[in-house]
Structure 1
Amino acid sequence: MERATRSVTVEDIGRRERLARWVNGLGYVRKWLVLGVIIGVVAGLGAVVFINALDWATKLLLGVLGGYTPPSPLGEGASLGSRHFSRPWAVPLVTTLGGLISGILVFRWAPEAAGHGTDSAISAVHHNPSGIRARVSVIKIIASAFTIGSGGSGGREGPTAQISAGFASVLARLLNLSPPDARTAVSIGIGSGIGSIFRTPLGGAILGGEILYRNDIESDALIPGLIASITGFTIFGAFEGYAPIFGYQSGFRFSHPLQLVYYALIGVAAGLVGMLYNASFYGLGERFSKLPLPRALRPALAGLLVGLLGLAFPEVLGTGYGWVQQAMGPRLLELSLWVVILLPVMKILATSLSIGSGGSGGIFGPGMVIGGFVGAAMWRVLEPIAPQVPHSPAPFVIVAMMACFGSIGHVPFAVMLMVAEMTGNLALLAPAMIAVGVASFLVGDRHIYRAQLHTRADAPGHRFRFGLTPLSAVPVANVMTAPRLVVRREESAEAARERLAELGLQGAPVVDERGVYVGTLRYDAVQGDDVKG
């Protein structure tokens, strides 16, 4: 029996090695067609598993136990949700329970799954693309489902990114991919996972390369990313449908030059709110890390606070996508102006508590929701007093979604495309570029993804490539140094030897009467009375 088991093991290893040699021996296009499809299939299936786990957890925890149903966007049922809390006392208990379960799961079995997890995946790309543990993806799915499903404020992109990035890392180990290929595999895993669950294949493909750097993009990941992201989108859509999350908002477009002023103001507001999001997220996270509590209990305490906050502002509970959908239409007018103005701040606070405390979920989705609330607030303020304001809040909401997280996440192109795909609207990209540009200018080098590097030149995997090229363009005059000692030809050998000894030099250049270089004087060769040219 033992021999049979050993022979099977050796045979399995042999098959794996043959497969690895075959894949690594393929040309660029064929290799990434194979790897991209495999990673995309897992990304799509992982997104299906997680969205159903989240739906189940939400119905059980918030619905059955908490007596509350959050609204959903057009592409996911278009439910209006509960008008009020049937058991308000139960909501804080449910959010506390979700945080407790998440904390125990994460800190017992996979501490790297704590928080939003995207930074861990980005760091893996830069430093150890083949080192992501397989269990992290499983724990991330379960913990995030309990965190968000119980009402915690988080995004569903974090778990799906970690699922596909984790699989790509395992695949890189099994196939013994080269370091550059392993980095590309994990990069497209991040993008295809997020692109699948948001139904944004083009934006997801761009995101996989853009999210790694603050001021650069991983061009090597673009073509493989398209293959993986389209595959993941196809698989996910086959189970969940292909309609945009927020429906087709194609009736809204840029219609008057004066509106550019309003979109620039949206950019200012979105940039400032993005900076507040960044500061609050890490500020509260640091405070929670100093609490004299076991790490596993901190998400439970945060859950209690979020539940209490949710009683006053139910819009902060869960993902918030259904509330953004309502903010795009006439139901926005049903909310008091002060509530609309406070919603971005309340959502920032809820997300900082839920995820910053160590709970599991994403920060990408909440960032777009926060931006949507900013746009809704701007529309409510400007619509009664300013000319040429769009008749619907939808254009402001859509553009602000792009500007807020596109700037603080340093992923402007990806987020613009993703929100355009999520709303079925490309006509607002022109004013969105104004808003995103203004917001990015205000944000500067601040970044919510701490694992992002500045450019590819700072990445360990690119140092050799980018370390040689600049030297070819640098003149010698910029790096040369003047000699510490110059000996004139008519100087005596004894004087020259004394000067060399005084400075501790082994030699010096020799010049003639006109200062023209004529040779080199070595300390150990100084003989005679004169230095001869």
Structure 2
Amino acid sequence: MSLRWDTSEHIVLGRFVVKWLFITAVLGAAVGSAVAFFLWLLHQATVIRWQLPWLVYFLPLAGIAIVVVYAKWGKNSAGGNNLVMEQIHEPGGGIPKRMSPLVLFATVATHLFGGSAGREGTAVQMGGSIAQALGDLFKLNKPDTRIFLTCGIAAGFGAVFGTPLTGAIFALEVLTLGRMRYEALIPCLMASMFGDLACSMWGIHHTHYSIIAAALHLDDAVAKITPLISGKVALASIFFGLAGYLFAELTHTLSHLFTKYVPTYWVRPIIGSALVLGISYLLGTRDYLGIGVLTADGTGASIVNAFKGDGITAWSWFWKLLLTAITLSSGFKGGEVTPLFFVGATLGAALASLFGLPVDLMAGLGFIGVFAGATNTPLACTIMGVELFGAQCLPYFSITCFFAYLFSGHSGIYLSQKMESAKCQDIKCSYSSLRAARENKRPLHLIFQRRNGCK
């Protein structure tokens, strides 16, 4: 058989790379710069709240302002991350340009006055909105627009966490449970790398985490897998997956209850604020307000302290989960991922002694595991572990993310996530998206049909 080489094919591939190199460079520069500005504002808002602790008492007023602004001028911007995903799946009305400034204002206000929320949702929405605007400027056709919007997610995610490879894989993996669109792989990788580069050029520095796990003697480039530790990690990962499931389901349930029983939309953030501040008062701490990476005095429950086991209680993970679910479901804006990092890291730290594993290892595994379960992105989260903590624990990262993904069930924080296939071959998926599955009135165990024909 003779060697097959089609010159025209490689010319087309070359043009494809050059084309996307140019437009993703523009996109990455714009999104990365916007994310840099957002992260700077977020840091300033956090510091100001620490310096002026009485600001938290204005959280209800901030919530009213946010929901009123979205109601009057937001149009469909309130769709958030789900709107971005829907426009990638089925391009229609597009993503409004106003989404970027609105979500920027709303998220900074949420953090300034003590709401418990994250930041990735803001970065992803800004990325999608900017991508839509630039796509219209470049006059992209519908298939290219879908890829370009996916690149917007990649650029925003890669820039906000300083994890460009994770950003690329996350953008591809999060859209559809069980399928990835590889035609967008190179564009997403370039967009994410450009976004991260642009963000770092503005002098933005991301929090550094490390897993030393001295007791495991991680001297090799990649740790050797032992059956005992692997079994412990797999078992712990079930808890991480269940925590991701609980967060997603609680957030969706509370959102439904607020909508059903509090018809006046501007009253919802008042009730949400009262619950968040009231619970914080009863707990005697404000560690669960804001983003949760650090605390004002460096002590107490935070993501950074979880890696040292300092200030973490057995229920730190639950209180952050609860307050974030209340904050987001009552109308405040922000992301879910950083709170998921908090939930996972503190849950891992709390489980460390039970499983007899180093606290920093368990905090790191929980950090990525709960995220993997709640977003159904095990590959992206495995890569995130390498980008954030190094490759030494790669085998345990993969075990954690894959098991957490499986045991989070067919649930997730993004209801517009399509469902291409079930997580288990013994279950046949019968719904097109997580939203369709949740809106069905049958019990959860009847949402899926067994392959053996049982109804």
What is the TM-score with the length of structure 1 in the denominator?
Answer: 0.70
Cα 1:400–1:223 shift into 2, 3 Å: same
Residue in 2 aligned with 1:97? 61
Shift of residue 248 of structure 1?
4.2
1:414 aligned partner, one-letter code: A
The answer on whether the counterparts of 1:399 and 1:428 sit within 8 Å (CA) in structure 2 is: no
Shift of residue 234 of structure 1?
0.9
Residue in 1 aligned with 2:187? 224
Residue in 2 aligned with 1:246? 208
Of 291, 298, 307, 1:328 maps to 307
Cα 1:28–1:157 shift into 2, 3 Å: same
**Residues 151-170 of structure 1 correspond to what in structure 2 (within 5 A)?**
151-170=114-133
Residue in 1 aligned with 2:234? 264
Deviations 1:102-133 (A, max 9, x none): 22222222154437x21111111112267111
Shift of residue 419 of structure 1?
3.6
- Larger radius of gyration between Structure 1 and Structure 2: 1
Cα 1:177–1:459 shift into 2, 3 Å: farther
Shift of residue 286 of structure 1?
0.6
Of 325, 332, 335, 1:359 maps to 332
In percent, how many aligned pairs have the same letter?
Answer: 26
2:402 aligned partner, one-letter code: G
1:63 aligns with 2:50: yes
Q: Take 1:395 and 1:314, find their aligned partners in 2: how far apart are those partners?
A: 26
Deviations 1:10-50 (A, max 9, x none): xxxxxxxxxxxxxx9x9211110011111111111111111
The answer on whether the counterparts of 1:371 and 1:404 sit within 8 Å (CA) in structure 2 is: yes
Cα 1:112–1:356 shift into 2, 3 Å: farther
2:145 aligned partner, one-letter code: A
SS at match of 2:415: coil
Cα 1:459–1:292 shift into 2, 3 Å: closer
The answer on whether the counterparts of 1:271 and 1:408 sit within 8 Å (CA) in structure 2 is: yes
Shift of residue 55 of structure 1?
2.1
Residue in 2 aligned with 1:30? 18
Cα 1:459–1:446 shift into 2, 3 Å: closer
Of 399, 410, 414, 2:380 maps to 414
Of 143, 147, 161, 2:110 maps to 147
The answer on whether the counterparts of 2:57 and 2:113 sit within 8 Å (CA) in structure 1 is: no
Of 252, 255, 278, 1:285 maps to 255
1:274 aligned partner, one-letter code: G
Cα 1:250–1:28 shift into 2, 3 Å: farther
Residue in 1 aligned with 2:291? 319
The answer on whether the counterparts of 2:31 and 2:155 sit within 8 Å (CA) in structure 1 is: yes
Of 324, 347, 353, 1:374 maps to 347
Shift of residue 320 of structure 1?
1.3
Deviations 1:128-147 (A, max 9, x none): 26711101111010001111
Residue in 2 aligned with 1:21? none
1:315 aligned partner, one-letter code: D
Q: Take 1:367 and 1:129, find their aligned partners in 2: how far apart are those partners?
A: 31
**Residues 188-199 of structure 1 correspond to what in structure 2 (within 5 A)?**
188-199=151-162
1:220 aligned partner, one-letter code: E
Q: Take 2:55 and 2:246, find their aligned partners in 1: how far apart are those partners?
A: 27
Of 413, 419, 427, 1:454 maps to 419
2:115 aligned partner, one-letter code: G
Shift of residue 410 of structure 1?
0.9
Name stretches of at least 5 consecutive residues in structure 2 with no aligned partner.
Answer: 1-11, 295-301, 422-430, 434-455
Cα 1:146–1:179 shift into 2, 3 Å: same
**Residues 39-78 of structure 1 correspond to what in structure 2 (within 5 A)?**
39-60=27-48, 62-66=49-53
Deviations 1:475-520 (A, max 9, x none): xxxxxxxxxxxxxxxxxxxxxxxxxxxxxxxxxxxxxxxxxxxxxx
Residue in 2 aligned with 1:71? none
1:284 aligned partner, one-letter code: L
The answer on whether the counterparts of 1:54 and 1:145 sit within 8 Å (CA) in structure 2 is: yes
The answer on whether the counterparts of 1:199 and 1:245 sit within 8 Å (CA) in structure 2 is: no
The answer on whether the counterparts of 1:105 and 1:143 sit within 8 Å (CA) in structure 2 is: no
Name stretches of at least 5 consecutive residues in structure 1 with no aligned partner.
Answer: 1-23, 67-89, 384-388, 461-533
Shift of residue 164 of structure 1?
1.5
Cα 1:111–1:59 shift into 2, 3 Å: farther
**Residues 117-132 of structure 1 correspond to what in structure 2 (within 5 A)?**
117-128=80-91, 131-132=94-95
Residue in 2 aligned with 1:386? none
1:318 aligned partner, one-letter code: G
CA RMSD of aligned residues (A): 2.6
Q: Take 1:287 and 1:439, find their aligned partners in 2: how far apart are those partners?
A: 27
2:99 aligned partner, one-letter code: V
The answer on whether the counterparts of 1:215 and 1:410 sit within 8 Å (CA) in structure 2 is: no
Of 399, 413, 423, 1:434 maps to 399
The answer on whether the counterparts of 1:133 and 1:166 sit within 8 Å (CA) in structure 2 is: yes
SS at match of 2:98: helix
SS at match of 1:134: coil
Residue in 2 aligned with 1:445? 410
SS at match of 1:240: coil
The answer on whether the counterparts of 1:93 and 1:304 sit within 8 Å (CA) in structure 2 is: no
Q: Take 1:304 and 1:356, find their aligned partners in 2: how far apart are those partners?
A: 13
Shift of residue 293 of structure 1?
4.7
Q: Take 2:81 and 2:345, find their aligned partners in 1: how far apart are those partners?
A: 22
Residue in 1 aligned with 2:317? 344
Cα 1:138–1:408 shift into 2, 3 Å: same
